[in-house]
Structure 1
Amino acid sequence: MTKYDVVFHGFVARLTNKEAKKFTKVPGVLAILADKVAVKLDTTRSLEFHGLNLDYGPWPETNFGENGIIGLVDSGILPESDSLNDIVIRPIPSRWKGACEQD
């Protein structure tokens, strides 16, 4: 269950139609809104959707993605933004004992 109390007071819960109908009689309840998922997720067909073949091609040649790393960073900031400018980054301190990759 999720509760909202900043802009308006309310909560989110999974209810049967019968349970939701009972809430309409509770004093102070202004509305009950049903939220329906428009599309049922079907991940069993994703191989076909992406055009991957189990017998040949990049999928089996890369061991079906085993040990693969996929990363996505959505910072909400354009790459050209000054917030991502690396001009002010200083050299790696001599006391640093880790490993760094540099271009």
Structure 2
Amino acid sequence: MPQGPIAVNPISNTQTKLNVTAKTVINVGPGRVAKIVFVVASTAGTPGVYDAATTAAGVAATALWAGAAVTTIGTVVPLDMAYTNGLVVDPGTTGVVSVSFI
């Protein structure tokens, strides 16, 4: 009996950074961010994901994604986006996120 296409996970060799509580450099150099998950809701500020090698360079001009100031717990943000310089994640005020990246 013929077999259909074999499903392949497009994001393999994934790494995870758990419980990010402040704007943080997750990785330096090129890579790919898979998703972020809000473990604790953000109540203010703007959560974001940036293509930057330092937290100071993580600004609107380098944003890959910017979220709403108030984000509910359990929100999953599927990104699957490449970055060149590095990966900086800001969970927003009081937010805590987990990040999957390659």
- One fold, TM greater than 0.5? no
Band the TM-score falls in, shorter-chain normalisation: under 0.3
Length-normalised TM-score, structure 1:
0.18
Higher strand share: 2
Q: Between the two structures, name the one with larger relative contact order (CA 8 Å, sep ≥ 6).
A: 2
Higher helix share: 1
